[in-house]
Amino acid sequence: MQDSLQNIVEPLLQWYAVHKRELPWRRDREPYHVWVSEIMLQQTRIEAVRRYYERFMQALPDVASLSRIPEDDLLKLWEGLGYYSRARNLRKAAQIIMQDYNGIFPRSAQQLRKLPGIGEYTAGAVASICFDERVPAVDGNVLRVIARVTGSRENVLLPETKKAVSARLADIIPEQAGTFNEALMELGELVCSPDGTPDCTHCPLSAQCTAYRDDLTGELPVRIKSVRRRREDKTVFLLITDDGRIAIEKRTAPGLLSGMYQFPNTDGFCTDGQIAALMEQWQFVPSEIRFIRDAKHAFTHIDWYMKGYLVRGTNSGGHFLWVSPAELEQSYPLPTAFRIFL
């Protein structure tokens, strides 16, 4: 297998020199730019990240500015990207870089892995792209390419499979380590696609690819999920006063969406009587209660099934924060799970 992998290096680099995309975070090798983009790209497609990246860089152009931003402002800036712990860890890491490294980005993957939110992949990506350290950066795209090239039937969702692929790639990484890692990721994104219909006729590795030779691209890579998803039912209320102010509250409990703002909600699907009891408890006197829609939002291991209600009326002393639509848009980070009801 090692010999076959060694043969992918030159054709891959030649292909990348011609076909690589112009992306905002590729304009230079500044580690801050690469780091932020890699964190944003976790769980998110490249095209969706572009506008968030540009907005983030305009607001926070360097590590120092990221280290100083208040958490609510950071979460508002991140709004829509999801997985908000990524943003919090970015800020924590920036604060450590300012305090422990005098604002200078660590240059090695080993040092980078010590920072919050930076795992094996991100450390390898930043260290190789920015400093040409010869370390692998193995994401889902890379796992897919290697599984197809080698014909591997190992489950790519298992940590040990990723570790084994990283070890094999570490032996073949050339001096242009960053270019090689980006080329592998780019090939997986553009050509060796995940939907079972890769563009094999335009792939620079088709001559070495076991899956192409044996018509296995629809079967590889093997992905066997072992995590059972949990369902949670919720009733969500869009409470609006006569003067147009909207009720929100901050999620204070640790865990899912901690520190974000939400519309008032309760577990389970409410009956009319339960809704009336909640309005009394919240000291909100309704003049109109109207069903908005059903909605579903998927988190990593949990699916929220939601019923949303619009309730217009008068606030008579409830504990919620009442904000104008403009304030909600500008100042309060509201997760996509709740923005659905706007």
CA distance 54 to 44: 15
Residue 228 burial class via C-beta count within 10 angstroms: exposed 0-12, middle 13-18, buried 19 and up: exposed
Give residue for tokens 């909207």.
246
Residues 6+ apart with CB under 8 A from 292: 238, 308, 309, 310, 341
Q: Is 38 a catalytic residue?
A: yes
Q: Out of 22, 30, 38, 47, pick the active-site residue.
A: 38
DSSP letter at 243 equals T
* Cα–Cα nearest to 9, from 147, 129, 171: 171
Name residue 237's beta-bridge partners: 309
On the question of a cis peptide bond just before residue 11, with omega within 30 degrees of 0, the verdict is no
Q: Dihedrals φ, ψ of 92, to 5°? A: -60, -45
Active site residues: 38
